[in-house]
Amino acid sequence: MSLWNQRVRASVIALGLTLFAANLLAGCALLAVPTPIAAPTATPVPTYNGPLAPEPIAEPRFESLTYGIQAFLWWSPDARTFDLEMIRLMNFTHVKQIFAWGDIQPQPDMWDWSRADEVVAEVLYRGRQLVARVDHPPDWAIVDPATRPDGIPFDVEAYAAFCGALAARYKGQIAGYQVWNEPNLQREWAGYPPDAAGYVKLLGACYRAIKAADPAAIVISAGLAPTETEPPTAVPDERYLQQMFDAGLSGVYDVLGLHAPGYNNPPEMSPDEAEAAGQRRWMVFRHVEDMRRIQIANGDAERQVALLEFGWHINPGIHPDYAWFAVDEATQAAYLVGAYRYAAEHWRPWVGLMSTIYIAAPEWTEADEEYWWAVTTPGFGEDYGVRQAYIDLANMEKIMGDTIIPARDPESVQHEPLSPRH
């Protein structure tokens, strides 16, 4: 075991013992990756073929780059503190966390802020910034779209009220809000065919409510699932994004949310190279560039992009549907570090937040597909595991605006865990 591994484990164990002595009480996001269609077909490319930064970013909402990772901090206070300390050790500044509407407002007249309060307080105490993903509607807010003139299967007005209440309660404490997740998939649209115009109306209602409560908060549109699957199951992400712009997207977002799984391809591979190799353009990390071209073609070149989910999967065959794009742990680590390096060299300043998936949720097991995307493994104290990707991401050089944090020598890492907040 390397000295860095020993120190990480020692730090983790020491933190676990501290938390145990303090007697803290112990209390999922699925990256949507459609199965590829057998016969290759070309995905249409936007007509804009100019530079990806044709004009200055008028109002950069994130430093370019901003280093983030998604965690699952909701249910377990012990795991929450532990995971946030591990993120602090990585020198990642932002944490993405699901704020499930149904958990906070399970009934129209019932509100439970207890866990949200704890998550926000702990993130701030650990010196991180929070990006809240706002979705997972309660059952009472899912409606028959035939009962609404706009055909949306959710109570839009109630969602806006929830967004406003969330932003008002945590004004100045939540840096950004991701409004929904992968609405171009039927399963994320209450089982109904995806509807870009309906999503833009939902986004707009939430945007206005957040801005009224906290004008400085960053509103990020939902990350879209890269796919070429057709309705009713899904809408290809490029087409869906254009439909969003056609429906008025430009007036109701600050930062464009995208998803960028790399599948089994290196981060440097271009969509053109993927096509030449008989693959789809959306099967590479740099598919983001095709989506950026759509943004530019619709007049929004001055706005940033956030990569809300990206990563590489190391499924060893437990999930056959995911085996075709699996990589080994060493490759996962190299590709994740390479993605940040590629973005730092080629995508600044138009890419801001880049949020890796995941810090593993405490309850995940090897039977969970998400387990194989993560850079850690579930556990506590001596059972907490870090994959090579975690170590390499922690040690890599980080470029944040004009600030450069140099790469760390694994043999000289020093880390002083924060004491428990209470």
* Residue range 32-54, pLDDT digits in tens: 333 333 333 444 545 799 999 99
Total structural domains within the chain: 1
CA atoms within 13 A on the CB side of 130: 26
In a domain, 38, yes or no: no
Question: What is the pLDDT at residue 317?
Answer: 80
Q: In 10 A of CB 395, how many CB atoms?
A: 17
Does this model's pTM top 0.75? My answer is: yes
Name the one residue in this structure whose structure tokens are 């866990």. 115
Give 176 or 380, the one with higher predicted confidence.
Answer: 176
In a domain, 291, yes or no: yes
**With 90 as the cut, is the pLDDT of residue 84 above it?**
yes
Give 257 or 42, the one with higher predicted confidence.
Answer: 257
**With 80 as the cut, is the pLDDT of residue 412 above it?**
no
In a domain, 34, yes or no: no
In a domain, 176, yes or no: yes
Structure tokens at 126: 């650990």
Report, as an integer, the average pLDDT of 356-383: 92
In a domain, 103, yes or no: yes
Range of the domain at 303: 3-26+55-410
In a domain, 44, yes or no: no
CATH value at residue 406: 3.20.20.80
Radius of gyration of the chain (CA): 21
H or E segment and range at residue 337: helix 329-346
**With 60 as the cut, is the pLDDT of residue 24 above it?**
no
Say what percent of the chain tops pLDDT 70.
89
Angstrom distances, CA of residue 357 to CA of 6, 71, 72, 224, 310:
24, 8, 11, 15, 6
* Residue range 185-240, pLDDT digits in tens: 999 999 999 999 999 999 999 999 999 999 999 999 999 999 999 999 999 999 99
Question: What is the pLDDT at residue 44?
Answer: 53
